[in-house]
A = this chain, B = another copy of it.
Amino acid sequence: MPRQGASAPIPAVGQDGAPRSRRGLRTRATLIGAARTVFERDGYLDARITDIAKEAGVAAGSFYTYFDGKEEIFAALVETVQEDMLHPHVRERPEGDGAAAQIDAANREYLRAYKRNVRLMALFEQVAQIDEEFEVLRRKRGHAFITRNTNLIRRLQEEGKADTDIDPRVTALALSTMVSRMAYLVFVLGERIPFERLLENLNMIWVNALRLEEP
């Protein structure tokens, strides 16, 4: 579903709505796939529209039938992958389990998802740094995660399991930021820490930071 009611003054054809024909739909999808390949390979900055078109096997001009430029196709790419990245597969959150188990589950899923999509995550980090618009997007996405964690802390405090001296929002932000940045360090930049060791340490920091009562 393309974005609607965007702010662009005179939306290009491709922005206007979905392509009408089946062929158009296919071309658009092909372009997004090609964009992912090229972006992951060359980085956002070095990726040329020309190359994306070439990778997709269409003429350079055809690109503009569907997108207005690099930003637009990148946004479209983000959209197609968001599902997997935004909602990590934490469906079966062990509600009944202890707090530590919940934290482990959340961190484990986050790290796994990150690792599964390293190239993409690296790309997102890069683009967020380069294009303000995507920085905003990234933070919005992140805040869903933060809010969830803030609420988790609040609940634990209410249940008397976590230290009530703690500021739930700031702490949730700091600890989440820590996890996310460590994922970047390890999976993208190659800091040599084995997955399980990393996870254990992050979990322990969370548990200790919240001063969870040991059972």
A residues lining the B interface (CB < 8 Å): 1-7, 10, 40-46, 51, 118-119, 122-123, 125-126, 129-130, 132, 135, 139, 163, 165-167, 170-171, 173-175, 177-178, 181-182, 185, 188-189, 191, 193, 197-198, 200-202, 204-205, 208-211
Q: Which residues of B contact A182 (CB under 8 A)?
A: 173-174, 177
How far does the Cβ of A101 sit from chain B's closest Cβ, in whole Å?
A: 18
Residue of B nearest to A48 (CB): B10
Chain A binding surface, main DSSP class: helix
Q: Is the CB of B132 within 8 A of A201?
A: no
Q: Which residues of B contact A1 (CB under 8 A)?
A: 40, 118-119, 122, 188
Interchain CB contact (< 8 A) of A130 among B42, B129, B202, B205 = B129
A2-B123 contact, Cβ under 8 Å, with A170-B197, A171-B201, A209-B205: yes
Give Cα A171 to B182, complex, Å. 11
How far does the Cβ of A153 sit from chain B's closest Cβ, in whole Å?
A: 12
Q: Which residues of B contact A173 (CB under 8 A)?
A: 182, 185, 191, 193
Q: Is the CB of A4 within 8 A of B208?
A: no
Interchain CB contact (< 8 A) of A129 among B40, B41, B125 = B125
Q: Is the CB of A4 within 8 A of B118?
A: no
Residue of B nearest to A128 (CB): B129
How far does the Cβ of A192 sit from chain B's closest Cβ, in whole Å?
A: 10
Q: Which residues of B contact A177 (CB under 8 A)?
A: 178, 181-182, 185
Q: Which residues of B contact A4 (CB under 8 A)?
A: 41-43
Given contacts A170-B197, A174-B201, 19 further A-B contacts (CB under 8 A): A1-B122, A2-B123, A2-B126, A2-B132, A4-B43, A7-B41, A10-B51, A126-B129, A129-B129, A135-B189, A167-B197, A170-B198, A170-B201, A171-B201, A174-B202, A175-B178, A177-B178, A177-B185, A205-B205
